[in-house]
Structures are given as C-alpha cells and as structure tokens.
Chain A
Amino acid sequence: MAYKNFILVCGGTGCESSRSDEIYRNLLAEAEAQGVKSDVQIVKTGCFGFCEKGPIVKVLPSESFYVEVKPEDAKEIIAEQVVKGREVKRLLYRKEQKTQDSAKVEDIEFYQKQFRIVLRNCGVINPENIEEYIARDGYRALERVLFEMTPEQVIAEIKASGLRGRGGAGFPTGIKWETARKAVSDVKYIVCNADEGDPGAYMDRSTIEGDPHSVLEAMIIAGKAIGANMGYVYIRAEYPLAIERLKTAIAQAKEMGLMGKNILNSGFDFDVEIRLGAGAFVCGEETALLKSIEGNRGMPVPKPPFPAEKGLWGKPTVINNVETLANVPVILTKGAAWFASMGTEKSKGTKVFALTGKINNSGLIEVPMGTTLREIIFDIGGGIKGGKKFKGVQTGGPSGGIIVEKDLDTPISYESLVALGSMMGSGGMIVMDEDDCVVDVSKFYMAFCVDESCGKCSPCRIGTKQMYNLLDKISKGNGEMKDLENLEKIGKAMTKASLCMLGGSAANPTLSTIRHFRDEYIEHIVDHKCRAGKCKDLVVYSIDAEKCIGCGLCARKCPVPCITGEKKKPHVIDASRCIKCGECFKACKFGAVVKS
C-alpha cells in the first residue's frame, strides 16, 4: 500500500522544546487507533525555519502547513486529514493582519523569497534515516568524487563555484582546500566548525539537526580532495540533539560503508569523530578551536601559519563551518556553474540567517546572496512586530554592526555588509525597533564580548571591559562627553591591534551605533535621557493625577512597594525608592503611569 499522506513533524530544538516530540508520538498513536497506519507516513524532520510559529506540522501532498500545533491536535489531524482528506483549518497558518486563509507553503510570504540549498533537506527528510538522505541524491556527490573526479577536479569545481566560508570572514573555500592539498604532510585533517556561539544564531545547529549527512558527506569529500583521512566535528556540548543526530548519522554512514575504511571499495579511508566544545565563543575562531581539540586552552594563536599549512597537531588542516560544508555536496551534484549563477559578483549561492528580534516572523531563513535586507525583514520577516518603527538590524551578532533604514536596500554580500560597518558573520540577524536603545544594545553585546574574550591579548581583554564600563556609565546617566571619545579611541585600537576577530570586531556594535545614533548617546550623556526607555536608571515613572482613578492596582503590583495613595484618589510614586521595574506602567489600564 502506498502512503497517501505524509506528515512531517518538526524535530528541531525549538519545536522539540514546544513538545513536538509528543505531537509526533500522538500522531503515530492516533494513526494506529484510527486504523490508517498504512495510509500515512509520519516523519520527524529537521527545522522548517519558521520557528516563530512552532511547533510546525506539515502534511503532504496537500501542503497543509500547520502552526503552533499542540499534542492534543494529533487526533484531529489524523481524523480530518488522513481519514477524511480535509485540512484542519483552525491550525493552518494565517497572515496576522489579513483574514483570508493562507495555507500552502508557497503562499506563505515567509517562504516566498527563500531558496534552500543548505536547508534543502531540513523539514523534508527524517534526519535519523540515512536512506532518506540517500534518496534525495545523498552521497551522490561522494560517488562522483571517489569514482569520477580527481582531487584537483574537485577543488577546481569548488573554486569555480565561488563558495566562500559561511562562518564569518568569507575566505574562498576552494583556495583553502587547495592550500591544504599542496601542503606536504603524511597526515592531514578536516575539521567541521560547529561551535556556533553568536547570541540568537542557530543556523548550524538546525542544519546538523535536520540534515547531518550533508555535513558528513562534505567532510569525506574534503578529505578526499586534500588527502586527509580523519575529520573532527567540533560542536558545542549545549547542542545535545544535534550531537545525538550526528552520532546516529556517523554510525549509519559507517555501517553502510560510506565512512570508515575503504569507502564503497574505492580504497579511500575516512573517519569522523565528534569533539565537544565547552561553549567558549572564542573557540569558534579557528586557531583557538584547534587548540581546544588538541586539549589545550582555547586561545587563538597568530596566523600565519594558517591552519591549512599547519593546523591540528601541526598538520595541514581544513576548517570549514557547517553551512559551508552543507553546500559542498550540492555544488558537486548540480555543478559549479549552477551554484555560481546565484548571488552577487563575489558572493555566490545562498546564505542562511537566523532572523530574530522585533520581527513578526522570526526563524531560520535561506536566501540567495544579493537579496536585500529590506526583503528579508519586511517580506520574509513580515515587518516589525506591533507596527513599530524599524530602527536597525544587527548582522553578525556581537561582531557586527547596526544597519539602518537608509541602507536596507543594499544587496547582501560579504563586501557590502563590511562596507556598511557590519559583517556577514555566521548569520545572526537581530531586528531592532524604536523601543530598543542603542546604548543598551551596545552594552549587551559588549557584555557578551567581555565574558567571551579569552583574555590572551590585551587590546581585547582590557578594551572590551573598559568599553563595557563606559557604556554602563553612560546608560546610568553618569557619562561625560569624554567617555564617548574614549569609546571611539579604545574601539579603534581594539579593532586594529587585537590578535583574532573576536577582539577585532568586538567594538563594531558600539562604533556603528555611535556612527548612526550619536545624538542618542549625547542624549544619554547630556540630557540623562533614554528615549527608548530601556536604560532603567534614566527612566522616571510618575502618576498622572488627572488620569489616575485610584484603583490601587499599581500599588499592589509594585514589588518595593513605593506607590501610595488612598482609594479612589490619585496615587503617588516615591521616585527615590522606585526600582524602575515597570510593573506599574504595565499594570495601569488608564495610562496614568507615565514613563519619562
């Protein structure tokens, strides 16, 4: 009996945390109970990307796209969709402001401008089943590499595709491979950098969770191309699901002879081992990552020598991040020309972003290079939450800068983002609205860098802390104009003199916000005012006596408490004791609590 329906349940970390596993199990049980087990195949897949509305359940071939599904919905989905062939309308995704149904994936604007190469199998296959990966042309590229191409041809193909490192700096992958191939050594290594650490970014996690074999296949290919027989995946220990899927995938690949000794009788050996990182951001920096694998402190070392010449244990080592690798099998099956047809002159293919912040549709997206930020934020992302005003978008996480309204039409590429004072980074994209304060945001990112600086080199170690202290001072209303100068002075020196890109880019959020929003910094310093109301110390809560009806709700909510007043008479906030938690402001139904 052929399956009539396929139910794909998202098994990404985001949806799993909203009980998608329970949904999956309930669906299986219901299919059994309702006697349609042989009519429907229920599959747990990787991330669909539309995490804003998770858990996601997609039914094929009707393409019913169910959002915010609960475990108890399983019964209805089986009963309606499988048994009766009708969609469960109430679970279908609807556009927020519009009334008409919008059920099909192709109709959801979130997916319309996306193009999935890296995430091609995410949300389609069961990542724990190697056969499903194989069925979708999986390990086809490996076949070509082992039996139809020379290593030089493989490298030439990757070079021709224009693929560049997706981890941040955008170094051409083919050149990296070529350097490592030319390096003379008996032992070489392939390392997959899965030490994703930007706040709010989870591209690599989702790729591994949804399609671990694409990364493994690429590592084996890279091994063949440069002459390495051993690979390591360096992944954060905080990614248990990804690690589990990776382990399963490695075991399956080994069992089938796609990894290990004499792969497919080609005579080529390649093994992959997992190395867990303890979550230090700096270990995403390749030299620090290698030190960590070697069992040393994760501290960057000077380059040159580059890892491709002298890397892990002094041997030539290619380090590619997850997303870069996931592109490789597709390039080798569909051809470099196909890949290079997408994107801008110097940035080819697609890029995965983790879109978050004050945006309607947050989630994981993949767009062709050259897509504009405006398309990403307003078309795919559905614009700003609650109709607020767009303020800026932070790309590249703590290493990037803020990009403002006037630059939103810039087509995305490695170069264009740098020109805007930001960077591609690994793909974090955080949207800010008028309620976000640039001082507060800069302080947040600088706090992250202070925590994550390895402490080796003085510009970064001291610079991040000094800048944090200055930002903290300004956010508390104690800033002086000299502090603004010092922020720029330290930021500049830190950018130039740091050993690795953590320090080299740590000042970007601050420097770019000073560039675009200098007036807001000055407002904090001179007027002791935070227009977004984010800097607690600069906010004053008071009660408008005209509007206050004396209901006393604010006083009851106040945790201090510092609000007093008789019943049915205007209340008063004792500003000297107020901790500025904002509970009264949120509680008041009459708009009587004023924030200024």
Chain B
Amino acid sequence: MINCKVNGIPVQVAEGATILEASKKANVKIPTLCYNPDLAPWAACGICVAKIEGSNKMLRACCTPVAEGMNIITHDPDIVETRKTVIEMILSTHPDDCLACPRNQNCELQTLAQEFGIREQAFPKMLHDLPIDDTTGSIVLNPEKCVRCGRCVTVCQQMQNVWAIEFLGRGETIRIAPAADAKLGESPCIKCGQCSAHCPVGAIYENDQTKIVWDALRKTGEDAKTCVVQIAPAVRVALGEAFGLQPGTDLTGKIYTALKRLGFDVVFDTSFSADLTIMEEGTEFVKRLTSALQNGLGAATREKSMPLITSCCPAWVDYLEKYFPDMIPNFSTAKSPQQMMGAMIKTYWAEKANVRPDKIFSVSVMPCTAKKFETHRDETMYSSGYQDVDVSITTRELARMIKQAGIDLLNLPESEPDSPLGPYTGAGVIFGATGGVMEAALRTAYYLVTGNELKDVNFTAVRGISGIKEASVHVNGVELRVAIAHQMGNIEQVLNEVRKARDEGRDTPWHFIEVMACRGGCIGGGGQPYGATDEVRKLRIRGIYDHDEGKEYRCSHQNPYIKKVYNEFLEKPGSHKAHELLHTHYTERPLFLK
C-alpha cells in the first residue's frame, strides 16, 4: 500500500493506483472527459490535470501513478483555470446545438461546461464540416460532434478487438473513421455499439428508429397493422437507470404496462424465445455431443462439430463471419431469441390470432444496436415470408418513447405479458447476462441427456464478470467442459486455443462455448442506458439472477408454453419446421467491402 495526501487529506492506495483513484478515495472529484473506467487511460483531453506539491508541472491524473509520500494538489486556482481554458477550447470545436443533440442533458461535455460555469464562448468557433456516417443502420457517427477523446477507438480496438475505426488525419484535421475513410457499413464494424455506449458526447449514437415505431403505432384505418412487441431480458434491469433508478432495478411488469400504453396490441417477452432457443440449441448440443461420444472428441474437433459455439449475439455472429470463418461449422445454427420470436409471431401466432402476417408490425426492444442489423442480416431473417422483425429499438430509444408519451413509468401498475409467447422461465431471463445462455443450456441439457431434473439449477461457476470463465459439469459420468467469454476482445484467445487443438489433432479443450460481444453480456449492451461501468454491470446482473430465482420454472424445457408450441406447431426440437423457422446459416464475409 502507498500512503499519499490529496489536498492534505491522507489516503492509502494500492500500488499502481493513479492520482485519479487516490483522489476518489479522498472524496475529491477530479473532472475528466476522455477517461473511462472500462478503458486504459488514453490521456487525450487534458482536463484531469493535477500537481504534485513542490512542482509547478501539471500531470494527467488519469494515468499518473501515485508514489509514496506524494502530496497531490487537485484544485488550486492555476489548475482550475487551466482546466476551464481546456474545456473552453474543446467547446470552441463543438457545435452549439445541444438542444437538438441525442445526448442533451446526458452529455459529459455539457456537464463539464455547466460545472465550470461557462457562460460564453471564449474562443472563436472552429467546426469541422464532416459528413454523418449512418451506413450501418445500427449506429450513427457524427464526426462534427466528436471531441477526439479516443474512447471509441480504444473500445473498438482494445476492448472489442474489432478494429473498425481508428484515427485518421493529424492535428486539427484528426478524425475518427474506418481505415482509408471507408464508411462504417463497409468496414469490419460488428455493430456492437460499445463505441456509442462509451462516447461522452453525441458523436456516436444508436440509429434512432422510434419514428418508424411511432408511425406504425399511430396508423389507423386500412394501413394500420397489429403492433406486436417483444422485450429482451436485459432491458428490464437497465431501463430504470434512464428514469433515475438504481442499476439492476427490475421493471418487467411496469414495462409491459408501458408498452401497452404506448399502443402495442400485443406484448411478448424475448425470454420466452430464449427458452425456445435453449430447446433448439440444447438439442443440437446433445446431438453433437452424442456423436462425439461415439466417434471420439478428437474426430469431432477435427470435423468442427465440437465445440459448439453459441450464436445468440448478432455482433458475435458478424465477428465470427469476418474473423473466424474457419469455425463456422462450430457455430450453433439456432437463431437468436429475437429472430425466433419474430418468426413465431408471423407464423404460429399469426395463425392462432388469425392475423395476416403482412398485417403485423413486429418490434423488438433490445439492449443492443447490432439487433437492428440482425433483423435483415440474411434471407433466413425472412422465414415467415416477411421480415420477421420489422424494427428493433434499443433500451435508450424505449426510454425516450416512454418519456415522449408522458408515461409515468415508475408509478405504473404491473402487468403480465401476453400468451402464448410471453410466459418464460428463469432460464430464459438469464440470457441477458454473461454465462446465462450456458447456464440455461446446461439446465436443459442435463434433462435431455439424463431425463432427470436437476436438484440445484444454479451453475455459479459460469456467472460473474471475469472475461473468460471455465467450468466443468458431470452429466451421466461424462465431464462436460465449457467456456464463457464476453467482451469481444476476450474471444480470440479462447478460439485460438480451439483452433490450435484442432490443427494439432488434439481434443478441443471445451465442449461448449458461450460468447457475448459486450462486457457483462447483454446487460452491458451497446444500446443500454449510458454510464455502464463494472459496478453498474454487476448490479444489472444481480437484477437478472434475482429475477431468475423468483420464477416458478427455471429450466426452459419446463415452460408449459414451450411444450405447447412444440405440440401445436413445431413438433419437436430440431424438426424440419423448426429448422425452417428457427435456424440459420453463416457465410464468410470480407472485413472491408471496398
């Protein structure tokens, strides 16, 4: 431990702690802009400057480690004035259209300007006339608003290992864009939206599609469609943050009510189709496992039937097709819960409710920007004969719609989702957290293999925030080894081990791998309310597992409505019909389209 003082207040910090961390411990807030606790300090903005007693030199608090006996000064007039001038400089390159900005009142630069009492433009404006890039359909890059803090670049390259965006140009002309000024839509971008979740200002944000939803909801007469909505597991524990609640607060029942009040005719829950996914993917896994047990794991590894890798995350699907095409055969062909739900709504439910599928407008509310892209990813997303999901909006967009509609979310009565595609099990809801798909799959796989129900359904080894998790489970005397990786940057390491084993003719180290592109899983998705840190993510995860604990059924195969849809419509998991509606395929894709 290191002893130091912050403005005279003694604090003790761990070796390697920065001035910023020491100050936090002393309850001193040093303003920052480019710093984000998820990311290694990039030290670009120049706002977090501080001094060490005895020296007039200003140091970056975000990246300067504390030394024993250091007397840190964080707020002398010189420092405050310097910070203010730097903020004024940044403002001189930033448009003044806060009122029309997606980050209005939720902008870190705006907050700084407000806290520093900036009341006039200190310096002449120097704006960049750069075009908006909305080519992905998921996220929008507005370089004019960009403060060049570099968070998105660090997110994309280091955290996510995608390398879609980087710095182009130098000096005043520096900008953020894909290499060679390609458009995002032509780049390796996987639409995970982590850049948008980390952007301190309104330079990268989700493609706002609320207007399309409003239009559909408000249509009357001939053109009117039946508006059906599904909400993803992770939305329920994060939406409250946009209304001032603690992260992790479970608003499921209130969200159903709010969606009804918004004008949706039918409210389903993606947790239901998560149960469906488990039935399909679980069956696929058991089938592959059985074959591997017969023919040997080594052969299965060579033939790429083992390990099975989950495919619920569309950003991950995109990443795999671009960076790991050689592992496509390992990928589960099961569609994601969003797309299974979309297919079921426009076929099974349409039939049951006697609504023509072309008269259904199907909306999903997701924690995710990549889900927008998934709705039209390839032709299998049109398995009903129509686009299975018409539009996907993020948690942030839903929050805005609720506010626009004047709905007092927090004081709403709770309600239940509609049947039959609403009721879900605890296994369905934990899809929202890292390890959740694996745990849900294990709960059902155990049943499928042994025919018995688990005494304890909790597989705690697969839970938690660490980037790569491993566990082994004994099922019928067989040791199942599983791995869970979340945050795209952690995937390569896991898959390279599989590749290596495969290429060297060894057994795969794992039978089943779960991958989610975002840190913490979907609860940390790129479309969730701003300000996610590990602290926030842990609270959201807690909310998810609390919800699971409270459910009557905690295994997908126990869901009576799942049994019902198989009996009435799908026959059995992996059936021909199930394959037509609930499965997809994958293709190698180039990193750059140009």
Contact = CB atoms under 8 A, between A and B. Distances in A.
In their complex, do chains A and B touch, with some C-beta pair under 8 Å?
Answer: yes
Nearest to B124: A469
Contact of A457 (B43, B65, B93, B166): B43
Interface in A450-482: 450-459, 461-466, 469
Contacts of B123: 466, 486, 490
B46 A466 contact: no
Interface string A242-268: 000000000000000000000000000
Nearest to B60: A302
Which of A297, A466, A497 counts the most chain B CB atoms within 10 A? A497
A469 B89 CA distance: 13
30 contacts: A299-B167, A301-B43, A302-B41, A302-B60, A304-B65, A450-B172, A452-B171, A454-B170, A454-B171, A455-B169, A455-B170, A455-B173, A456-B148, A456-B150, A458-B45, A458-B46, A458-B90, A458-B147, A458-B148, A459-B89, A461-B174, A462-B89, A462-B126, A466-B126, A490-B85, A492-B85, A497-B47, A497-B86, A499-B44, A499-B46
Interface in A136-185: none
A385 B83 CA distance: 45
A493 interface: yes
B171 A465 contact: yes
A459 B86 contact: yes
Given A497-B85, A499-B46, 15 more contacts: A297-B166, A302-B41, A304-B64, A452-B171, A453-B172, A454-B171, A458-B44, A462-B93, A462-B126, A464-B171, A486-B123, A490-B89, A492-B85, A493-B86, A497-B83
Nearest to B78: A496
Contacts of B81: 493
B107 to A, nearest CB: 16
Interface string B158-173: 0000000011011111
A280 interface: yes
A20 interface: no
A489 interface: yes
B89 A493 contact: yes
Interface in B136-178: 147-148, 150, 166-167, 169-174
B171 A497 contact: no
Contacts of A463: 89
Contacts of B166: 297
Contacts of B83: 497
Interface string B15-51: 0000000000000000000000000011111110100
Interface residues of A, number: 32
A115 B92 CA distance: 50
Contacts of A297: 166-167
Contact of A451 (B78, B82, B171): B171
B122 interface: yes
A8 B397 CA distance: 78
A458 B89 contact: yes
A301 B126 CA distance: 26
A63 to B, nearest CB: 49
Nearest to B173: A455
A498 B46 contact: yes
B52 interface: no
Nearest to A463: B89
B172 A462 contact: yes
B407 interface: no
Chain B contact patch, size range: 35 or more
Q: Which 10 A-B pairs have the closest CB atoms?
A: A455-B174, A493-B85, A497-B46, A453-B171, A302-B63, A462-B89, A459-B46, A302-B43, A465-B172, A496-B58
B44 A457 contact: yes
Contacts of A456: 42, 44, 148, 150, 167, 174
A463 B90 CA distance: 9
B148 A455 contact: yes
B167 A465 contact: no
A459 B82 CA distance: 10
Contact of B92 (A299, A451, A466, A489): A466
A519 to B, nearest CB: 25
| Residue from B41, B44, B65 with most neighbouring chain A CB atoms (10 Å) | B44
Q: Main SS of the interface on chain A?
A: helix
B574 to A, nearest CB: 48
Interface string A286-303: 000000000001010110
A59 to B, nearest CB: 48
Given A462-B92, A462-B93, A457 B171 contact: no
B124 A466 contact: yes
A302 B65 CA distance: 11
Interface string A371-382: 000000000000
Contacts of B60: 302, 499
Contacts of A459: 46, 86, 89
Nearest to B149: A458
Contacts of A302: 41, 43, 60, 63-64
Given A302-B60, A465-B126, A497-B58, A453 B89 contact: no
Contacts of A455: 148, 167, 169-174
A266 B213 CA distance: 78
Nearest to B85: A493
Interface string B65-97: 100000000000010011101100110110000
A453 B169 CA distance: 10
A180 B469 CA distance: 37
Contacts of B124: 466, 469
B156 to A, nearest CB: 14
Contacts of B47: 497
A491 to B, nearest CB: 10
A290 to B, nearest CB: 15
A442 B86 CA distance: 21
A496 B172 CA distance: 19
A452 B148 CA distance: 17
Nearest to B33: A458
A555 B41 CA distance: 63
A280 B167 CA distance: 15
Nearest to B166: A297
A40 B452 CA distance: 103
Nearest to A455: B174
Interface in A287-327: 297, 299, 301-302, 304
A461 B65 contact: no
Interface in B89-123: 89-90, 92-93, 122-123
Contacts of B46: 457-459, 497-499
Contact of A489 (B45, B85, B90, B171): B85
A463 B221 CA distance: 59
Contact of A497 (B82, B150, B174): B82
Contact of A486 (B44, B49, B122, B170): B122
A269 to B, nearest CB: 32
A496 B82 contact: yes
Interface string B178-221: 00000000000000000000000000000000000000000000
A459 B48 CA distance: 12
A184 B234 CA distance: 46
Given A458-B46, A466-B92, A453 B170 contact: yes
B174 to A, nearest CB: 3
Contacts of B65: 304
Nearest to A491: B85
A492 B44 CA distance: 17
Nearest to A469: B124
A560 to B, nearest CB: 31
A497 B172 CA distance: 17
Contacts of B169: 455
A456 B148 CA distance: 7
A583 B167 CA distance: 44
Nearest to B59: A302
Contacts of A465: 126, 171-172
A486 B85 CA distance: 10
B337 to A, nearest CB: 39
B95 to A, nearest CB: 14
A407 to B, nearest CB: 22
